[in-house]
A and B are shown apart, each in its own frame.
Chain A
Amino acid sequence: DTAVSQTPKYLVTQMGNDKSIKCEQNLGHDTMYWYKQDSKKFLKIMFSYNNKELIINETVPNRFSPKSPDKAHLNLHINSLELGDSAVYFCASSRFEGYGYTFGSGTRLTVV
């Protein structure tokens, strides 16, 4: 039973396209996140949602828009994809007060 699941696992697309990555968690956590891991493996927070409300929005281009239909889901939509968007995107969830960040297995996005 996967705790944090992301789809798709791989995404290859052309520059200028719009794409979405979906994330679902079945841990009952109330906070969800998107992280970006670049080619040097550096992990950086992009967004954080608590109970469907945006609480962290790091310096990320407006082309990236998170959407949380309910507290178990956090999707990432990317408009007008650029070559520099190529990376691995990780969804994660946690309890707001406690421990236990759990990451998904990642979506490798390649923009050609």
Chain B
Amino acid sequence: SQQGEEDPQALSIQEGENATMNCSYKTSINNLQWYRQNSGRGLVHLILIRSNEREKHSGRLRVTLDTSKKSSSLLITASRAADTASYFCATLFSGNTPLVFGKGTRLSVIA
């Protein structure tokens, strides 16, 4: 069974607004990662947060991790039309296990 569950499944916002996506998972993790996928293309790594970290920033991206609630959120600030894509969270149980992906959130940013 899949480890992560993203919420919402789909999100539509206006350009300039912030977009927040959430991910919940079931077991203890080593790290949690977010990936982006443009329509029909390969996934691209965005950001990684380790289990002992609570927040990370990368450009317009902000990721939080709450291990007590087994949840993470990805915030994209000042969204642009080019941010339109699907976003996936992926969890790593340990260094010797493969990443497990959730079902993704489809983000549409309307110009």
- Say if A and B assemble together: no
Question: Interface of A with B (CB < 8 Å)?
Answer: none
Question: Interface of B with A (CB < 8 Å)?
Answer: none
